[in-house]
Structure 1
Amino acid sequence: MSVSLLRPAVRALPRATVARSTLAVRSYASSSAPILVSNIEAQWKGMTPEEQNEVHKSLEQLQKKDWKQLSLDEKKAAYYVAFGPHGPRTPIVPPGSGVRVFFGIVGVVGVAGLIYAITRSFAPPPVKTMTREWQEATNEQQRRDKVNPFSGVASEGYKGKGNIQ
């Protein structure tokens, strides 16, 4: 199997009428039509692995020349084959899935909030030690018993809340 260099698709036309974007890779392994380098992005997925390898090798040969001599289509094709979103660089997440992820997260947070609200509605009332009166009574008892007389509620000039939440 010989690998051909990029050749003009039409040899009968005068040189001035043959645009560099019509350069093609002829596949001798298969009898399919030549692959145009100018639109390699659209053709790449439909190519067989042998044709992809042939195009890749042809573009490697082209890149050995001076880059100023290459056409814009040849440069684009070389870049796409080397760094395009195919093979191991195929995106894992399809485009447009950000909206699905956003609404999925909003849904999960909403369900969690609903579960929390339902759980709280069936929960017993807070214990009696969490009432304000109980906490004030605890502060008075600590003053009377002189609990922590250096920096606590029983200290002189204490301005904190003590046990009140």
Structure 2
Amino acid sequence: MHAARLVRPIRTANRQFSRSLSAAATTTTRTHDTVIPLSNVEAQWEKLTADEQLTVHQQLEELQKRDWKTLSLDEKKAAYYIAFGPHGPRADLHPPGSVPKLIMAILVGVAAGGALYLTSRAFAGPPPKTMTKEWQEASNERARELNLDPITGVPSEGYSGKGFVQSK
């Protein structure tokens, strides 16, 4: 109930805001009744003023209300460019020179990781005594004595694996 009381004023405010936007757009269109050609909008778009861009956008909105089969190729290209083209927030997602910087940053990260690994290995202590080949062979003998995993393990008949030995 409380949320419903909050939503109604927000919806009303949104409607009033959209009405004021559409009123501003229609006044802009009335003052600028110039028809901007839609051929090659991609090349012209950055050179157009904000009012002219708004006019082109409104022209395309009116054109798109019709059947799409009746639109010319230039009109379709313009509509696609305005909707999905590399302008505004989509402009220059990867500015020139960003790819080499990215590759260099990756290489620096890999080099830093390698240096950290080698440094930690240099200051590490000796491996534990259980990693010696003698200890691991003794573990195989103990497994045979205790008959550990008699079906597929070290004490099984015909076993040909290395068992617990993993050191060279």
Correspondences of 1:50-65 after superposition (within 5 Å): 50-61=51-62, 64=66
Question: TM-score of the superposition, structure 1-length normalised?
Answer: 0.61
Query: Whose Rg is larger?
Result: 1
Structure 1 gap ranges (5+):
7-24, 26-35
Partners of 2:128 and 2:112 lie apart in 1 by 28
Deviations 1:16-47 (A, max 9, x none): xxxxxxxxx3xxxxxxxxxx655533442343
Partners of 1:52 and 1:134 lie apart in 2 by 79
Partners of 2:44 and 2:75 lie apart in 1 by 14
Question: TM-score of the superposition, structure 2-length normalised?
Answer: 0.60
1:87 equivalent in structure 2: 88
1:122 equivalent in structure 2: 123
CA contact 2:45–2:53 (8 Å) conserved in 1:
yes
Q: Residues 132, 39 of structure 1: CA spacing in aligned structure 2 closer, same or farther, 3 A cutoff?
A: same
Cα RMSD for the two superposed structures? 3.1
2:45 equivalent in structure 1: 44
Q: Residues 61, 163 of structure 1: CA spacing in aligned structure 2 closer, same or farther, 3 A cutoff?
A: closer
Q: Where is the helix percentage greater, Structure 1 or Structure 2?
A: 2
Shift of 1:149: 6.2
Q: Residues 150, 80 of structure 1: CA spacing in aligned structure 2 closer, same or farther, 3 A cutoff?
A: closer
Specify the SS of the correspondent of 2:146: coil
Code of the aligned partner of 2:55: E
Deviations 1:30-86 (A, max 9, x none): xxxxxx65553344234333221112223444565943xx5x655544442233222
CA contact 1:5–1:58 (8 Å) conserved in 2:
no
Correspondences of 1:77-156 after superposition (within 5 Å): 77-87=78-88, 90-91=90-91, 93-96=93-96, 97-143=98-144, 145-148=145-148, 150-151=150-151, 152-156=153-157
Q: What percentage of residue pairs aligned between the two structures are identical? A: 48
Partners of 1:115 and 1:150 lie apart in 2 by 44
Q: Where is the strand percentage greater, Structure 1 or Structure 2?
A: 1
Structure 2 gap ranges (5+):
1-26
Code of the aligned partner of 1:86: H
Alignment: residue pair count = 132
Partners of 1:149 and 1:52 lie apart in 2 by 78
